[in-house]
Amino acid sequence: MKIALNKVHFPITTLGHGRRVGIWTQGCSIHCPGCISRDTWEPDDARAVEVGALIELLAPWLAEADGVTISGGEPFDQAPALGELVAGLRRHNAGDVLVFSGHPHQKLFAEHAAVTAQIDVLISEPFEAGAGQTLTLRGSDNQRIFLLSDLARSRYPADMDQSPWPTKRRLDVVLEGDALWMAGIPHPGEMARLRQELARRGFGCQTSDQREPVVRA
């Protein structure tokens, strides 16, 4: 079975507990207005890889990672492959698996129970810019966090937004060749300010949606 990918990276420190393997899928059917990862929207069969080959590629990272974060794109748009991927990750890593989805949680638990049963943390609901952007690990404040395992509940406090657990929004900055990209959940307007500052200093940047620098969350 194949899964279409946008990017993989290790370590990612801004999207869950500890040092994590980050996996971003390619293709999203939801198209939330204001999404900062529009480069992940279009399905692309050329980006599809065998799940087994991906697990083998990630094995050295998985051996030392504290967990895995899967985002997109929309991971549940490839639910059978996602399920196979999570099962493979489990065989190589004892950490938590955290999955972001823009689908409502009711749909995910009802239609993809076999997948949600394998993950530790689910962050769900579509991005809504008007809902506010203040909460930990969520792009907008309508989104919900579900702690689905004892491991998740030991790493992520139920009162996350009132606890000392890392609530300050940060970004991982990754330099790959001549491209620089960021992972994490930025503060509102942060990317526009970054673009303006780069322009002021004489730098240009290619963006994921022709408005924002490439940032994935």
Which of 89-93, 169-173, 186-190 shows the highest mean pLDDT?
89-93
Q: What does the pLDDT average to over 41-47?
A: 95
Residue 185 has pLDDT above 80, yes or no: no
For the chain, the domains span 2-167
Residue 138 has pLDDT above 70, yes or no: yes
The pLDDT, as a whole number, for residue 217 is 46
Residue 13 has pLDDT above 70, yes or no: yes
Q: 52-58 contacts: CB < 8 A, separation 24 or more?
A: 52/88, 54/3, 54/5, 54/8, 54/85, 54/88, 55/85, 55/88, 55/89, 55/91, 55/92, 57/8, 58/8, 58/10, 58/21, 58/23, 58/89, 58/92
